Structures are given as C-alpha cells and as structure tokens.
Amino acid sequence: MLIGTLVFPNVKSVSAASMPSSYSNLTSEEKKAFDKIYQQSSESTLQNVNVNYSTQLSGLKDISSYHWTAWKKAAKGGSISKSANSGKGVGSGSYKGFTQKKIDSWKVDEKYINAIKKINKGKFPKDGNYTFPTDTSSSKLDWWVDEVGFYDIMGDPKYSKVTVKGYRTFNWTEKVRKEKIENTTRYKQYTKKSEENNGNVGWGPNNTAGEMANAIQIRLRSKRFDVPLTNSEAKQFEKKLKDSYEDYYKDGSVYQMHASQSYMYKGGACTINISISGKTVDKVTPELVYINVTYKTKSYSYETESHTSKQQIAQTVVARNAYASEIQKYGNFYLTPKSNVSSQKIKTRNTGFWYNINPYYHKGSASVTDEGSYGWTFSTNVSSGKSGTNIYAMLPIKYKFYTDIVDSHYYAPDVGNPPKDGSGGSNNGNNNNNGGNNGGDKPNGGDSNNPGGNGNNSNNGGNGNNNGNNGNSNNSGNGGHSSIGDKENSPMIHIEIDAKDEDGRVGTVRVPKMVHLYDIDKYRKK
C-alpha cells in the first residue's frame, strides 16, 4: 500500500525588534506606566508611541454666594481707594449704605413713598438693611442708593470647591502579525508493494514519509479497522507526525479508523481520509489504497493598529470657599509628580483687581488637598510641569467691576425733602416751638412766631407734619421747599446689578458731578 506525504507550513517565530526612538524619549516614569499596558512580543512590534497630559476641572458651577463691595465718588471717573480701611476692614469700600431706619423715615408720608416709586418704576425698598459690604445668594443685587453721586461696585462669586483632575494619555501604533488559514485537499492512489521503502516495510512509494507508513502499518497488522486506536497508539501516531511536521499537531487529538472508510481526526486542524479496498475481516491484505488529505496551510501578514489609553494620575482640590478675585491671585498650577513638591501651600502673586491688597474677606493663606492615592498632584510651587493651568481663566463667572453707575431716571417729582433718619411724631409747639421735629426746610413766610402749620393762634405751634408744611399768614399755606434730590437728603435710587452680566453695566448712565435728580433728565441718553 502506498501513502502520500503530508506537507505543513514551516512557521518561524518573529524576533522582537528594538524599541523605536519615540519610546526612548519617554521618561523613566512614563516607560514604567506604558510597560504596564503594552508589551512587545513576536506577535507585535511597536512602531511609535507618544504621551500627552490634560486636566479636567469640576465644581465650576458650585457658587455658594456673591460678595459685594461699593465705593462712592464725587466725580465721574474718579479713583477709589481699595485699601482705605485699615486692619480687618481693608477692602470694605467707601460706601456703607443705609439701614431700616432710613426706610422708616421715608414711610412717614404717602407723598414720599409715591415720589420714590415714581423715579424707580413703581418700586419701593423692602424692609431691611441695605448696607455694604454685603453678601447675596444669587448673582443679582437689589441695590438702593440713598446718596447722589457716582458709584463703583464689585461683585465677587465664592466657589465652594474647585477640583482639578490630571490625566495621562498614551497613543501608540504597532505592527501585529495576523494569521491566515487556507484549506487544501489532495488525493493520491497507491498500490500495495511488498518491498521495503525508505527502510520501512510494506508501505508507500518512495516519497512517502516513513513515520506515516510505519504508523498505518502498525494499525493494519494488529486490529480491525472499525476499532478505534488506543491512547497509546494515538500518542505514538501523533508523536511521529509531530516529529515530522513540527508543531502542526497538538496533544489530545482523536484518531479513528472504520472499515473501508477510515478517518483520522486531528483536533480540527487536519482530516485524513483513507479508503482501502478489500474485505472487512480481522486480517486484511488490501490491494489498493486511496488517500485524501485535507490540511490547513497557515500564512502570516502584518497590519498596523492604533491604540489609546487614558489614565487618571492626579486629583487635587485647588480652591475651597475661595472668591474669584482670590483665585485670580493664585499662581499657575502644574501637574507634577508628588516627589517634586515640598509644600502644598498655594503660592500667590500680586495681580488682578486687588493686586497687592489682601481684602478682609479673603481667606488668606490657602493650600491644596490631594484626593485619592494618585502619584501626581497640582502645585504652584514648581516652575514647570505638565499641563500648566490658570484656574481663574477657567472660571465661568469671574468677578465683575461696575464703574460710574447712576440710575437712569425719566423725571424727578417736585416733592419736599424727606425727614431725617428716624422720623418723630407731632410736637404741639407754642410760640417757641417750630412744629414737628421731622419738619422741612427753613420756613418761608408766615408769622415768625408761628412757623408750624395748622395752628389757630400765636400760642399754638400746631402739629408740624412730615411734609414740612409751613404756616403762612393764615397758618395754612405750604412753604417753599427744595424738590426731592437735595444733596443733604437725597432720594433712594434703585439699581439692579447682575454679576453675570457680560456688558459690565445694567441700565446705567453717566451724569455730571453731584447732579440733583430733578436735573438728571437732561443728561439722560435719548
């Protein structure tokens, strides 16, 4: 019987090439990190690698309050003194506002209430203190001014917690060996030969592998075809094939031979079909052997693949309960290994609105706090590093500074001056009593001994009302008083300021120095 030769591809391992120069350019720390996610092998060859660093900020919307500081100026474009108040009050502004007492003084007469509403679009201040500096929970300030002049005001948001996360991203390309398998079937016919071939007895033509001939010869001499090979025979068969054809066959394959149609199953890698003519008896002397050999041919190619791996390497709280103007004074934060940093204190600089002044409401000395067990941190105490970050530049709402603010009014009512703060009640005067202590200006006309209104005789000063009514010769006429807006007792002006306003001003107009409100219309923008 003759048998064909099985031919299998000769697969050689690919030796690992030297690493590219881009890998050599990595720092030792970067190489260690990259080696954890990539290993070059015979199946993969690194072509190129690069690394970049990035940051991500959180807490930028977490604003707990807004701090407001106001300055009053006598002239348009006038300068302000940011450090006028020493000690704990430095940076508290020159305008202090007014208290509920001022509002109470305006409530004593309906005319005053209506006058204020008329120049403030129907609004009158709610009860409360309108003092400065002040804090609000929103970005809007309901601001009432009780003195004519020009105002500068600053709105400063307070950030609860700003956290910076640092990331390192590796990008690399590699050549990867790809395996391709093709199935090939060959058919050969052989006749029995009794002579030895290549030192093997009774089987195959001269080009038949001796190991295959010996294996089949062992089978034919010993057992029926429909009896499976024993484990020992299978291993012997496999070993001979393995020795002849390198690593193509693997341990654990199953071989079976059945009657005139015999199969040898090779773990899904190869199937050998043997057809033998002759009788199916215990001992067979076949006359003709047909061999169909179906085997897999492996070939290899290399393809370029790209990969990306992003790793978090730091998480640092860089601002906690800090105002925008305070964060502006922070130096640049650099992403750096913790081993490079000796202090977590934040280094500040003289810049921004406050420059070298440290206002009372700033926290002062601040430090960063690392979260997690990362090996890197963000610090202002190194001169360089990865991914330098100006935190203030990243804030969505920075501080706002509004200058030369005076509300735009369309008219000024002709109403007498309001009483002084803390209005009093009526006084029943006599000829030495000028009426109520909330009276108006110096009286015009009337009996010099009876300045109070509504008196019926010279010995009764009457009830001096809040409108400052001054008696005439008949003790009943109104006296001549300045219109609302007098320097010494100016009206309340309502201005709404929004720290998020991009224009920097809200409904404002510039007017000359100390203009009275009853003259403001001629300066109003048409």
Strands annotated E in 324-411: 333-337, 369-370, 376-379, 386-389, 400-405
pLDDT at 328 > cutoff 90: yes
Give how far Cα 280 sits from Cα of 216, 217, 376, Å.
Answer: 16, 17, 79
Closest CA to 346 of 359, 330, 363, 360: 330
Mean per-residue pLDDT, 164-169? 97
Q: Phi, psi at residue 112, to the nearest 5°?
A: -70, -40
Element (H, E) at 297: strand 288-323
pLDDT at 325 > cutoff 60: yes
B/e letters for 132-144, b = 16+ CB within 10 Å, e = fewer, are bbeeeeebbbebb
Tell me how far apart the alpha carbons of residues 409 and 99 are, in angstroms, rounded to a whole number: 24
Mean per-residue pLDDT, 459-482? 34
Which tops the pLDDT comparison, 126 or 146?
Answer: 126
Q: What is the DSSP letter of 519?
A: G
To which residue do tokens 């009050």 refer?
89
Lowest mean pLDDT across 67-76, 125-134, 305-314, 448-457: 448-457
Which tops the pLDDT comparison, 229 or 183?
Answer: 183
Which tops the pLDDT comparison, 374 or 76?
Answer: 374
pLDDT recorded at residue 111: 76
Tell me how far apart the alpha carbons of residues 258 and 268 are, in angstroms, rounded to a whole number: 18
For the stretch 233-279, pLDDT in tens is 555 655 554 443 333 333 333 333 333 344 444 443 334 444 433 33
Is the CB of residue 59 less than 8 Å from the CB of residue 160?
A: yes
Give how far Cα 484 sits from Cα of 146, 293, 418, 488, Å.
Answer: 12, 114, 8, 10
Is the CB of residue 23 less than 8 Å from the CB of residue 49?
A: yes
Q: What is the DSSP letter of 400?
A: E
Report which listed range, 8-12, 177-181, 413-417, is most confident: 177-181
Tell me how far apart the alpha carbons of residues 306 and 169 are, in angstroms, rounded to a whole number: 13
Give how far Cα 106 sits from Cα of 43, 122, 456, 489, Å.
Answer: 89, 15, 28, 11
Which tops the pLDDT comparison, 71 or 517?
Answer: 71
* DSSP one-letter string for 408-470: --S-----PPPPPSS-----EE-TT--S-TT--SS--SS-TT--BTT--STT--EE--TT--B
Q: Phi, psi at residue 508, to the nearest 5°?
A: -115, 160
Give how far Cα 333 sits from Cα of 124, 169, 336, 409, Å.
Answer: 48, 19, 9, 47
Strand partners, 181: 298
What's the whole-model pTM score?
Answer: 0.60
Strand partners, 176: 44, 303
Q: What is the DSSP letter of 197?
A: B
To which residue do tokens 């970005």 refer?
139
